[in-house]
Amino acid sequence: MGNVGIGTWTASGGSLIVNGGGNVGIGSAWPGALLDVYGYIRSSNNGYIFPDGSIQTTASTGGSAWSISGTNIYTTVGSDNVGIGTSTPQGGFVVTNGNVGIGTWAPAGLLQVNGLANSPMVVTSSGNVGIGTTTPQGGFVVTNGNVGIGTWAPSQSLQVNGNIATTGNGNITTTTTGIMQTNTIYVNGIGGTSGLGQALVNGNITTSLLEVVAFQCQL
């Protein structure tokens, strides 16, 4: 059986050789690539070899639940997880080998969220949380707003709707001139039975009840 050569008179390398820069069309009269097939391609043995040398011998069954629409990639299956740096994500979105940025492409911590240019929220590798700063030096640092506990509209740097308790040798200290306003101040402190405690205030105290056990007040 002879070989067929197109564009060459030396067709000893295979049954059909096409040379000279021409394309081959199967099912197409105007092939746009070296081999242009209009229809299905079947491999009944060994599979397909890709440019990197890898061989695909089988395809996943049932297709993929992920879809591409323009520049969007999405899935409508609720059980699908996304893993970056891991092939076994146990949550909806898991990153094990880098930082995650939302609103920024250069996150300074494990998670950084930028809503406005001057108010980022970051979680560092040491576990510190910063709001308004990307370099928090404490467990929870806020530099650009008020903190509310028990309220979603704090009017002061720290506003607590409820009770504040310190255990052990706990102190409540104001280091600049300020005002402490409350209905009740109870201090069981120096010389008391519940341990050492101090309320050191450099400012004013406005209260309807002050109950003190061994109390030091600096005014």
Residues 6+ apart with CB under 8 A from 8: 17, 19, 20
Which residue, among 154, 128, 131, has the nearest Cα to 143 in the 3D structure?
Answer: 131
Same domain, yes or no, for 76 and 128?
no
Cβ neighbours for 127, distance < 8 A, ≥ 6 positions apart: 139
Total number of domains in the chain: 4
Same domain? 103 vs 157? yes
Residues 33 and 75 in one domain: no
Do 178 and 197 fall within a single domain? yes
pLDDT of residue 87: 83
Confidence at residue 116, expressed as pLDDT on a 0 to 100 scale: 63
- Domain residues for the domain of 193 are 163-219
Considering the domain architecture, whether residues 155 and 169 belong to the same structural domain is answered as no
Residues 153 and 168 in one domain: no
Please report how many Cα atoms fall inside a 13 Å half-sphere around the Cα of residue 219, on the Cβ side: 7
Same domain, 88 and 102: no
Q: Which of the listed residues 128, 162, 196 is the one where a domain comes to its end?
A: 162
In this structure, the answer to whether residues 42 and 26 fall within a common structural domain is yes
Pick the closest to residue 169 from 198, 202, 191 (CA basis). 198
Residues 216 and 182 in one domain: yes
- Whether 129 and 176 map to the same domain: the answer is no
Q: How many residues does the chain have?
A: 219
**Which sign, positive or negative, has the C-alpha torsion 49, 54, 60, 63?**
negative
For residue 175, what pLDDT is reported?
62
- Give every CB contact of residue 66 below 8 A, 6+ residues apart in sequence: 73, 74, 75, 80
Tell me the whole-structure pTM to 2 decimals.
Answer: 0.45
Is the domain of 157 the same as that of 131?
Answer: yes
Distance separating alpha carbons of residues 92 and 142, to the nearest angstrom = 29
* Three-class secondary structure of residue 92 per DSSP: coil
Which burial class, exposed, middle or buried, applies to 129 when counting CB atoms under 10 A from its CB (0-12, 13-18, 19+)?
A: middle
pLDDT tens track of the chain, all 219 residues? 666 666 566 666 666 777 767 788 888 888 888 888 888 888 787 788 777 888 777 765 555 677 777 887 777 777 788 888 888 888 888 888 888 888 888 888 888 888 765 578 888 888 899 888 888 899 999 888 888 999 999 888 888 888 777 776 666 666 666 666 666 555 555 443 444 455 555 556 655 555 544 444 444
